[in-house]
Amino acid sequence: MRRELNILIGGEAGQGLVTVGELLTRALIRSGYQVHVTQSYMSRIRGGHNTYAVRAGIENVHGPAQGIDILVALNSETLELHREELTPGAVALKDKNAQASDLEAVDIPFADLAGSALYENVVGLGVLSYILGLDREMPAGCIRSAFEQKKPEAVDKNLEVLDKAYAFASKSGVAGFNLDEPKGSAGLMLAGNQALALGALCAGANFCSYYPMTPSTGIPMTLNSYARDFGMVVEQAEDEIAAINMALGASYAGARSMVATSGGGFALMCEGVSLSGMTETPVVIVVGQRPGPATGLPTRTEQGDLNLVLYSGHGEFPRAVLAPADPGQCFVLARRAFDLAEKSQGPVFILTDQYLADSYRNVHLPDPEILEPVASPEVCGEVQEEYERYAFTPSGVSPRIIPAMSRCLVVLDSDEHTPDGHITEDLQVRKKMVDKRLKKGDILKQEVILPAYTGPQNPKDLLVCWGSTRGPALEAREIMGSENTAVLHFSQVWPLDAEHFRDYLQRAQRVVFVESNATAQFAQLVSSMVQPANMAYVLRYDGLPLDGQYIADNIL
């Protein structure tokens, strides 16, 4: 019996490896195991080498891990590329027609068992489920859930193939990899994009505009699947400039509004960010990071757009930047982003990345009934003779009334404006308006999420990380020795208050910044506020996600 293991399914795009992986992951979660999925795929519609890696354990698994215990090779290339990663005692499964040179592998007659290429992925699911000791009803239930609504006629055939695969595996002599009894509860199987979309819906979001771009497109796709049930409008715009301006227009008209994009698309949206700042229009902007510049590696991961988001837009105005660590935080922080956007009447960003966007986990969502309500504008303001959209207030936040919902005249202007919204070149008014807008930054500072500290009070090494690197950093702490190592994770990277982390940085003998970029962007930001005595870095920017062993091996 084992406490955890790593499974890697590899093949070409179009061979059904994602279907196998998702069904297997769902079966493991329904069985009570904790899972972590990492997807690697090339920027091609068909072909190329893609992988779907499932790490399953009886307790929480923080992130990806090195080594492969079970390799499912849907083509010969997978065997050659990953043979060196096999752990002692690992098993490789391959199609009986695939060439394996001198690698010992179990031949699976995919075509014979499936009877049709359509069902070959179910053969893989059945063999894997048998090897893992899963009750046949677990994958069978997942097949029913997947096909009963969309293709009910395909359920019986899939179950027939599943039974053939179980029968084959039982006679093949392949070693079993039974896991110990799970200790956790199942939860939902959600990837970062899905959880973020659900968090937005829970916040009352009802408008999303976007231009398709990996890895963020999964957010509007998820929202679209719930659009009818939640009164959600999802609009694919002709380009990114139109997308952000649609979102701002919808917000002006009273919608809870968001856009989802990635670095290259967000670069085109920057003028819209300034428009949000000047018109004091709430908007949530999700940026799914991937390696750049330009098209870069469009289906790989990186944390290279922090500075782009932090300094995007011309002029000076406040903003908040949130960076969830996992799908659970994606849900929570999406909801918080809408609340902050409304309270500060401006742009709020959520920074994810390809690794997080496509990474499935067990997620336990909070009960929406017990959550604090999200801030909202006045829909029908009291009738006033002179309503001022940009009235000067002690907090800098002016009353926001939805136009055409009352007798109040709501005037908005992207030029500098007077309190009632009309264009002005009165330079004294200009100065007061700049101060008013910047004053709203105090609200964001008051609501800032504190960094999360894990470890001893006076560690030898403090691993400082942000966003999706939390799980790998926590795992690195276990590898390096939890008695000497601590982790400080930031799920909000702007605004920052040095008083929230100064003491942590000064107590550690060495501060190690862990980031998925080449220039330590967050380290530069933090060290501009607090300069640790002894700094080190673990930076990964080859397009692959960090893992605990990589961090532990690369601390100099």
Relative orientation angle of helices 137-147 and 120-131, to the nearest 10 degrees: 150
Neighbours of 228 (CB within 10 A): 8
**CA 96 from centre of chain:** 37
Radius of gyration of the chain (CA): 26
Same fold, 4-186 and 189-370: no
Strand 233-236 with 207-210, pairing: parallel
**What integer pLDDT is reported at residue 389 of this predicted model?**
95
> Which helix (H) or strand (E) segment is 507 a member of?
helix 502-507
**What integer pLDDT is reported at residue 15 of this predicted model?**
79
| Domain 4-186 sits in CATH 3.20.20.70 | no
What is the fold, at CATH topology level, of the domain defined by 189-370?
A: Rossmann fold (3.40.50)
Distances (CA, A) of 346 to 152, 349, 415, 449: 47, 10, 16, 18
Instruction: Find out whether 545 and 472 touch, Cβ atoms under 8 Å.
Output: yes
**What integer pLDDT is reported at residue 175 of this predicted model?**
74
Position 385 confidence tier, pLDDT thresholds 50, 70, 90: low
- Domain borders along the chain are 4-186, 189-370, 452-554
What is the tens place of the pLDDT at every residue in 408-424?
999 999 999 999 999 99
**What integer pLDDT is reported at residue 99 of this predicted model?**
76
Burial class (CB within 10 angstroms; exposed 0-12, middle 13-18, buried 19+) of 483: exposed
What is the tens place of the pLDDT at every residue in 83-105?
999 999 999 999 888 777 677 88
Q: Where is average pLDDT lowest: 15-19, 131-135, 397-401, 465-469?
A: 15-19
Burial class (CB within 10 angstroms; exposed 0-12, middle 13-18, buried 19+) of 540: buried
> Which residues, 6 or more positions from 542, have their beta carbon under 8 angstroms from its beta carbon?
none
Q: Please, which contacts does 443-447 make with residues 24 or more away whose CB atoms are closer than 8 Å?
A: 443/343, 443/344, 443/395, 443/396, 443/397, 444/318, 444/319, 444/320, 444/340, 444/344, 444/495, 445/495, 445/497, 447/320, 447/340, 447/343
Neighbours of 442 (CB within 10 A): 15
Q: For residue 384, is pLDDT > 70?
A: no
Q: Return the structure tokens found at 437.
A: 């807008």
Burial class (CB within 10 angstroms; exposed 0-12, middle 13-18, buried 19+) of 372: exposed
Q: Say what the pTM is.
A: 0.95
**What integer pLDDT is reported at residue 378 of this predicted model?**
81
Tell me the average pLDDT across 61-88.
Answer: 92
Strand 283-289 with 257-262, pairing: parallel
CA–CA separation, 284 vs 120, rounded Å? 42
Q: Tell me 489's DSSP state.
A: E
Relative orientation angle of helices 17-30 and 120-131, to the nearest 10 degrees: 30
CA–CA separation, 519 vs 131, rounded Å? 44
Q: Return the structure tokens found at 16.
A: 């059904």
Instruction: Find out whether 524 and 40 touch, Cβ atoms under 8 Å.
Output: no
**What integer pLDDT is reported at residue 361 of this predicted model?**
95
> Which helix (H) or strand (E) segment is 513 a member of?
strand 510-515
What is the tens place of the pLDDT at every residue in 176-224?
888 888 877 778 999 999 999 999 999 999 999 999 999 999 999 999 9
Angle at 236 between CA 235 and CA 242, to 5 degrees: 95
**What integer pLDDT is reported at residue 359 of this predicted model?**
95
- 452-554: which CATH number, 3.40.50.10740, 2.60.40.1180, 3.40.640.10, 3.40.50.920? 3.40.50.920
> How confident is the prediction for the chain on average, in pLDDT?
93
